[in-house]
Structure 1
Amino acid sequence: MLTDRLQLFYERSKSWKQLWFLYPKIKSAGTLGIPIADYTKIVFGANGYKNAGRKLHELLRDRYHLQPEMSAPDYVILMTMLTDTEEGFLRLEAALSEINDELECGSLVWERTASAYSTAFVPLELVMLPLEAAEAPVIQVPFSESVGKISAETVYVYPPGCPFLMPGEKISEELLDVVRYYRTSGMELYGMEDETGEKLLVIEN
């Protein structure tokens, strides 16, 4: 069963100290056994390395002939299927174990990063409901000057395509730092009226 094989994979992954994994809670609900979490996606990256997601993507594809679904500067996403074989999982585990060992011993030399920011979720204060924000008067301001203001737009990067800012949320300095990180990592902002990503619609005071 795929869930059992993934549980074994995640258990083995805990020994790869140079890599991190997003561990889903694999469990079922109801009599039909429908998964609560989307356990078919394996999301992982390398600890403290610049553009590790891109590098892992290329390494898995070019050296090991394993094709990831997508990657971002911080992480890689692999898709698993019911038809995946034991041989396929063993190939993946061997590849990741080798990459981990090479990072650990220094034979694989990647640039370290001192950045504390990643594509992780930044909790924001919800000041008004999205519907209320949609009906409020708005003005456009430079993103760099938006701290303390209430967003009137949905903003996201792709991948993964999940919004990190929603209408009605108050913009924090921490969020602005993450936006700067996205830019320096070469990621584009989507969902804004300003296609350059430099200006943001906010609620007019």
Structure 2
Amino acid sequence: MVEDGTSLLGAALDRARRVRDAVEKLDGIDVMGREIVDQGLAFDLDPLALTFDVSGLGITGYTATEHARSAHRVNLGASDTVRISARLTHADTDERVDRLIEVVTAPVADAPSLDPAPEVDFPSAHGLELETVMLPREAFFAEIETVPVAEAVGRIAAELVSPYPPGVPVLAPGERITREALDYLRSARAAGVLLPDPADKSLATLRVVA
């Protein structure tokens, strides 16, 4: 890094710009850029971390990632209901960047044959700020019962529910469960979100304080 860091990272930054420039020209895919910093939504942007919004193609990021894997044998870094991401390093070559551009842009032509995106009932920002009515430890170790998810509204959560990605909890022990949070979790799961935390991965039931 002392001897060649400037040239190595400079070349990586140039390649990242080439990917951004190639994808930004396409209809249906938006490239996350410094607008998130300008809007105060982030402190800064890692130029080597590339994030693409594919919702304009009518598909989910999960579908785009699976298509990249099955049709092109390329694993992308991460995905969610609307985005896919990839990360470049100084070790990537021009050939790898060409391959990345090919894979990221492929859904533009292939989208009509891919599974359409199911609707996700995204909550408001306030809808994710649940009321904590018990200490997390007390709720976690309390006497619990398992109830159908439709009957969990208003009850106190006794387990963690963190959709992945990003892996940030929507429900935590001790919080009062709301309809808005449950609608988001159920619709997100139907869209392909992973729920690694709850005892019932299908989210048909939830563990709540008795």
* Cα distance between partner residues in 2 of 1:134 and 1:174: 22
Inter-CA distance 141–62: structure 2 relative to 1 (3 Å threshold): closer
Higher strand proportion, which one? Answer: 1
TM-score by length of 1: 0.65
For the structure 1 residues 89 and 141, does the alpha-carbon distance in structure 2 shift closer, same or farther, using more than 3 Å as the test? same
Q: Which position in structure 2 is the counterpart of 1:203?
A: 209
Q: Does 1:61 align with 2:69?
A: yes
- Does the 8 Å CA contact 1:50/1:110 hold for their aligned counterparts? no
In the alignment, is residue 143 of structure 1 matched against residue 149 of structure 2? yes
Q: How many residues align?
A: 192
Following superposition, the deviation at residue 68 of structure 1 comes to: 1.9
The match for 2:29 is: 19
Report the Cα distance in structure 2 between the residues aligned to 1:38 and 1:139, rounded to whole angstroms: 44
Q: Could you say which residue in structure 1 is the equivalent of 2:184?
A: 178
What TM-score, normalized to structure 2?
0.64
Q: 1:17 to 1:169 in 2, by over 3 A?
A: farther
Query: Which stretch shows the higher mean deviation, 142-151 or 49-58?
Result: 49-58
1:123 aligns with 2:131: no
Say which structure is richer in helix: 2
Q: 1:168–1:36: structure 2 CA closer, same or farther, 3 Å change rule? A: farther
1:51-107 superposed Cα distances (whole Å, 9 cap, x missing partner) = 53343224333544433245556443434333112332233224434533x26xx8x
Cross-structure match for 2:196 = 190
* SS of structure 2 residue aligned to 1:156: coil
Q: Deviations over 1:160-197 (max 9, x none)?
A: 54433222333222222122224433555332244664
Segments of 5+ residues of structure 1 without an aligned counterpart are 27-34
- Superposed CA RMSD in Å reads 4.0
